[in-house]
Structure 1
Amino acid sequence: MVAERVFGPGPHRLRYNGSDVAPLAVAESYRTRQRGLLGTDAVIGALWITRCPSVHMIGMRYPIDVAVVDRAGLVLLIKTLRPWTGGTWPRRGASATIEAAAGAMAEWGIEPGGVLEIVRAAAVTGDPPAAAG
């Protein structure tokens, strides 16, 4: 029997129109952006993929919701994607894609025209930022 591979929850928080909605991981490196949720069986919370105007579903094991946002976090598109389908096409002005379990965007009330943002873990806990070194 193979253990289920669950992605998340991430250390950050996802905020929509100023309200906290879910735990969040942020994919910022080339490797984490390319991998996304591939190789997982489920996701807790959401994954924000920076510098990612579109996604594909080749190799995915389960359906997901995606929100495509511009640099300011303005939601340009919400879509539910099925495994092994094409995914999303790049949109003008798109900067990042947020991935979550199918149905999560509706559950969280996220709609095109709203604003999503990352609340970094240090801001969530109130801890001072780590010293650069």
Structure 2
Amino acid sequence: MRIINQTKNELLADQTLLANTFLARLKGLLGRRELSRGEALALYPCSSVHTCFMKFAIDVIFLDPAGRVIYLQENLIPWRCSPFVKGAVTVVELPAGSIRDSRTMVGDLLVFDDDRYGGADLV
């Protein structure tokens, strides 16, 4: 699954895992040594995250039900928590530096697409 910042016409990730069950969200990125460029984890439903027990920093994008960016958390280092973001239903975790590199801003529209589903939005 790909994540595209439609507002900026910028590919954020071309290898996205979807964590949409309790167990998948609970595990998240735990046990991983890194998140490589082009990889992402999309958590749904979700309105806050933590990096306890993680070994690396991440960038975090919070989305409303329409896929609009409503909050950005850059370089969330291990053993920290994001704020609870009211109105967020999806959280995208990306390698640190991804927000800066893609110029993603509050108000941008992110689109999730997967060729297996005819390019349909999944979130």
Shorter-chain TM range is 0.7 to 0.9
Alignment of 1:11-22 (within 5 A): 12-17=1-6, 19=9, 21=11, 22=13
Cα drift, residue 104 of structure 1: 1.0
Cα drift, residue 20 of structure 1: 5.0
Point out where structure 1 has 5 or more consecutive residues left out of the alignment.
Answer: 1-11, 125-133
- Give deviations 1:31-53, integer Å, cap 9, x for gaps: 11111111111113211111010
Point out where structure 2 has 5 or more consecutive residues left out of the alignment.
Answer: none
Partner of 1:27: 19
TM-score normalised by structure 1 residue count = 0.77
DSSP 3-state at the match of 2:94: strand
Equivalent residue in structure 1 for 2:58, among 58, 64, 89: 64
- Give deviations 1:63-97, integer Å, cap 9, x for gaps: 00000111111101111201112x21212211011
Equivalent residue in structure 1 for 2:30, among 19, 28, 38: 38
Partner of 1:75: 69
Size of the aligned set, in residue pairs, is 112
Partner of 1:47: 41
TM-score normalised by structure 2 residue count = 0.83
CA contact (8 A) 1:69 1:75 kept: yes
C-alpha distance in 1 between matches for 2:52 and 2:89: 21
* Amino-acid identity (%): 29
Cα drift, residue 116 of structure 1: 1.1
* Corresponding position: 1:106 with 2:100: yes
C-alpha distance in 2 between matches for 1:120 and 1:28: 16
C-alpha distance in 2 between matches for 1:26 and 1:120: 11
